[in-house]
Amino acid sequence: MSAYVTHDFKTPRPDGSRRLPRTFMLVPILFYLSLVAGSYLSINSYVNYRESCKSRDNSKAQTAEQDGATSHIEADIANINKEKLKAEKLVQWVEGTRMIQPISVAVTRAIPPEVSLGEMSFERSVDIPAQINLSVRINSGGMEDIGRIQTAVESLKYHAYNSQQSKTGDFLDYRTILVWQQN
């Protein structure tokens, strides 16, 4: 029965319009699909945006926490370095406070028997214990004896700076600053 269409002799409508072809249904279908897809993308983007904001806030909090830890560690390192410097100075000071006895023995042994050693004094500054002011008075000695003293002192890893000799009669005064060489 459905294939048969009953006759119709109604007056045709002057403003009647033809139906659009069925293929044109793609237009509203695509429109609604794009609406659905757009809504999905918008919602998805918004959710992702919210998650990103949360993640960014977490990252900022973590960064701030890390920065705090870093500055704390840096302060600790600065303190350690300060302590280290103090320790190094202390080590240097301790290293500088070497025994004077070996120097006096070496100087005494460097003087030959025919030459008499009138005076010998060692002065050491408390602030710079590595520097020792040596003053020696030799009776009947010469410059070669001074050379022997220097060689003996250098063999103990002391370097003589600002050496001065002065001869008064038979006495020869020798003054120098001994600095111990670490290396």
Partner 1 sequence: MPLLEDIKDVLSFAAFRPDPDDATISWKDRSSGRRSLLINVNRSHASWRAMNKRGRFQESGAQDGELAEIASARAEEWRSLTDNGWCSLSLNNRFIISLENNLSRRENFLTLLRTNPKAVLGAKYDRGKRYALYHHPDTASTLLMACDDAAVKTAEDVLRGNGLKAGRICCGLFAILEMKLREIYDTKKVDPKGSFMMVATCEGSIAALVQQGGQWTDFRCRTGMGIDNVEAMVQIIGPLVQKIQPETPVFFAHDGNDQRFAQEMMRNLESIGAQDITSEDMLWRVLGET
Q: Does 7 bind partner 1 (CB under 8 A)?
A: yes
Q: Does 14 bind partner 1 (CB under 8 A)?
A: no
Minimum CB distance to partner 1 smaller for 16 or for 169 = 16
Smallest gap from Cβ 36 to partner 1, in A, equals: 14
Q: Does 10 bind partner 1 (CB under 8 A)?
A: yes
- Which string of b and e fits 33-46 if b means at least 16 CB within 10 Å? eeeeeeeeeeeeee
Q: Does 5 bind partner 1 (CB under 8 A)?
A: yes
Cα 140 from Cα 172, distance rounded (Å): 8
Which residue among 20, 33, 41, 100 contacts partner 1 (CB under 8 A)?
20
For 164-176, the DSSP string reads: EEEEETTEEEEEE
Which residue among 14, 17, 114, 162 contacts partner 1 (CB under 8 A)?
17
Minimum CB distance to partner 1 smaller for 5 or for 99 = 5
- Which string of b and e fits 9-20 if b means at least 16 CB within 10 Å? eeeeeeeeeeee
Which residue among 14, 19, 113, 169 contacts partner 1 (CB under 8 A)?
19
Minimum CB distance to partner 1 smaller for 22 or for 169 = 22
Asked if residue 134 lies in contact with residue 117, where contact means CB atoms within 8 angstroms, the answer is no
DSSP strands (E only) in the chain: 116-124, 131-139, 158-168, 171-180
Minimum CB distance to partner 1 smaller for 13 or for 114 = 13
Which residue among 14, 27, 34, 153 contacts partner 1 (CB under 8 A)?
27
Q: Give the total of residues touching partner 1 (CB under 8 A).
A: 22
> Tokens 């050491």 sit at which residue?
124
For 31-65, the DSSP string reads: HHHHHHHHHHHHHHHHHHHHHHHHHHHHHHHHHHH
Q: Does 113 bind partner 1 (CB under 8 A)?
A: no
Residues within the interface to partner 1 (CB under 8 A): 1-2, 4-13, 16-17, 19-20, 22, 24-25, 27-28, 31
